[in-house]
Amino acid sequence: MASEAAKETANPGSVRPGGRTARVRSAVLRAAGDALAEHGLAGLDLADVARRAEVGRTTVYRRWGNPVALVADLLVEMAEQSLPRTETGTLAGDLRANARLVRRTLADPRQGPLFKAVIAAATCDSRAAAALHRFYETRVDEWAPCARQAVERGELPPGTDAREVIRAVSAPLYYRLLTTAEPLDEAAADRAADAAAAAARAGAFVTTAE
């Protein structure tokens, strides 16, 4: 009896997710990414996004409603498409590869501003924050195995928290991106990787018992 009363008005796009709806979504998300990269989160105007996506203004307001909700959806999309990791055989090599990949992303003229905007959105809205956390969770999980293998190889002490090692590589790069005016060059990436490797070897990421 509750069949039509229960769902009320489930978000548009959830009942007929194929065809046009999917096309609209991807066009809007792409446009939103462009707009974010250009003007940042504060300059994100839904009407402008609709224009760029060649989609009705009404549609964007109905399906997303506000800028941060749109960013949250963009993050879900971004989390889905992860790029493969490279394996070099040594911890130092793997971490450098990771650091350089992160650096290249953050220094990219489109991706860099986009990541900044997405982080800003996460600080404003808990749904966006959850989406961002998920995004980084998948990214870290993708690379954690290289630290785990280093433990097996004997390069790192047993009990080392593999995910924490990977996070230690990214952290200085994000910190530099957000809090300094200095450029994110390859030297900074290598330094971040080397520092993480050194700290890991010294046992800084060994989880004590628990």
Site for DNA, rule CB under 7 A? 10, 12-21, 24-25, 45-47, 55-59, 61-63, 65-66
CB 50, min distance to DNA, A: 7
- Site map (CB under 8 A) of a second copy, residues 41-70, x = contact: xxx-----------------------xx--
Neighbouring residues of 181: CB distance < 8 A, sequence distance ≥ 6 = none
Q: Name the residue among 185, 138, 160, 139 with its Cα closest to residue 91.
A: 160
Q: Which tokens go with 12?
A: 């548009």
* 156 sits near a second copy (criterion: CB under 8 A): no
Q: Which tokens go with 54?
A: 């060649």
- Identify what 176 binds: DNA, a second copy, none; CB under 5 to 8 Å per kind: a second copy
CB closer to a second copy out of 24 and 32? 32
Q: For 167, which DSSP code?
A: H
- Identify what 89 binds: DNA, a second copy, none; CB under 5 to 8 Å per kind: none
Which window, 8-16, 54-62, 75-83, 187-195, contacts a second copy (CB under 8 A)? 187-195
CB 41, min distance to DNA, A: 13
CB closer to DNA out of 38 and 194? 38
The residues in 133-152 that bind a second copy, with binding defined as CB under 8 A, are 133, 136-137
DSSP assignment string, 78-108? HHH-PPPPP--SSHHHHHHHHHHHHHHHHHS
- Identify what 179 binds: a second copy, DNA, none; CB under 5 to 8 Å per kind: a second copy
Q: Which tokens go with 125?
A: 């809205």
Q: Name the residue among 84, 94, 99 with its Cα closest to residue 156.
A: 94
Neighbouring C-alpha atoms within 13 Å toward the C-beta of 98: 31
* 100 sits near a second copy (criterion: CB under 8 A): no
> What's the rounded Cα separation, in Å, for the pair 156 and 53?
49
Q: What totals of helices (H) and strands (E) does the chain contain, helices first?
A: 10, 0
Q: Name the residue among 183, 186, 146, 184 with its Cα closest to residue 163.
A: 146
* 22 sits near a second copy (criterion: CB under 8 A): no
Give residues in contact with a second copy (CB under 8 A). Answer: 40-43, 67-68, 116-117, 119-125, 129-130, 132-133, 136-137, 164, 167-168, 170-172, 174-176, 178-181, 191, 194-196, 198-199, 201-205
